[in-house]
Amino acid sequence: MSTAAEAGTWKLGDMEVNRIGYGAMRLTGNGMMGNSDNAPIDRDVAVGLLHKAFEQGVNHVDTAAFYFSPLRSANELINRALSSWSGDVVVVTKVGPGRHPSGEWLDTIRPDELRGQVEENLRQLGRDCLDVVNLRAGGPRTASIAEHFGALAELREAGLVRHLGLSAVLPEHVTEAQKIAPVVCVQNSYGLDWRRADESGLVDLCREQGIAFVPFFAVSGLRREAAAGQEHDARVHSVARAHNATPAQVRLAWTLHRGPHVLAIPGTTNPAHLAENIAAGSLRLTEEELVLLGKPDEGTVRDSAPDAR
């Protein structure tokens, strides 16, 4: 069985993690959208799935306090799994615009409200200090994040947070934040069908500054929070057949080939898909295949909406 270590490692600050991690958004059974039509995942099943991930070398989990549905909280499920696990796992969470306990989205938050969000994550995860906290940008995409990131830097100095990162940002936000405190990771939507981070230079900027670039929606693409649909890209199918792999594995492998600083955080509640996602870290694409996949299909639709995760 493949392990997450086969994808290589990267350091988030002083914490080394395997480049294949796990995204906890789907652990709630309804993603973060609060859709009550889906049955919530059984708690014991969720904990068992996380343990399977840890057993296969996953030591980096992405989460957020706003990953919840009417009956499940991703943070609380992670807390339960870690309480019965002896290994080291780095937990990365997010603060910024989020959701009211009722599920309603809150698009703006004041800098002085970030401490409450950090403390909420601490309580739910059962931690005294959070490994990494990403500031999720809100409001106009070009708005300054200095005041909000500065508030998180103060919480870092106070010992509530170990390292800081960013989510759903532009290159200028990284530059702005780095003047305030070190940035160890940047999370943005990125994949074969959604390459805004390439067009803006964000992926290369992170590489140049030694910052982990952590794509989300790398498999689901333009479907975003929805589960990945049927693969329609003939290039992906061609490469998948050559490696006896799945299209999802090819998409993840393509992302990891973008650079050694690029991590992956695919999420699933299916143990078989979990194993496939982890195995994607050992898939080595040829230069010819990378060239083939590197050219977007003509007519590819690019969603103009800001990152919503």
Q: How far apart are CA 116 and CA 120, in angstroms?
A: 6
The DSSP secondary-structure symbol of 10 reads: E
E-assigned strand segments in 171-274: 183-189, 212-216
Residue 106 neighbours by CB under 8 Å, 6+ apart: 97, 98, 99, 100
Q: Is 57 helix (H, G, I), strand (E, B) or coil?
A: coil
Report which residue type is found at 100.
Answer: H
According to DSSP, the residues that pair with 68 across neighbouring strands are: 73
177-181, long-range: CB within 8 Å, 24+ apart, which pairs? Answer: 177/135, 177/145, 177/146, 177/149, 178/209, 180/146, 180/149, 180/150, 180/153, 181/149, 181/152, 181/153, 181/156
Cα-Cα end-to-end distance for the chain: 31
Output the CA–CA distances (angstroms, integers) from residue 11 to 25, 166, 183, 192, 210, in the order listed. 23, 16, 12, 25, 9
- Provide the annotated active-site residues: 67
Task: Tell me how far CA of residue 40 lies from CA of 29, 221, 223, 296, in angstroms.
Answer: 4, 24, 21, 36
Assign 200 to helix, strand or coil.
coil
Strand, coil or helix: what is 113?
helix
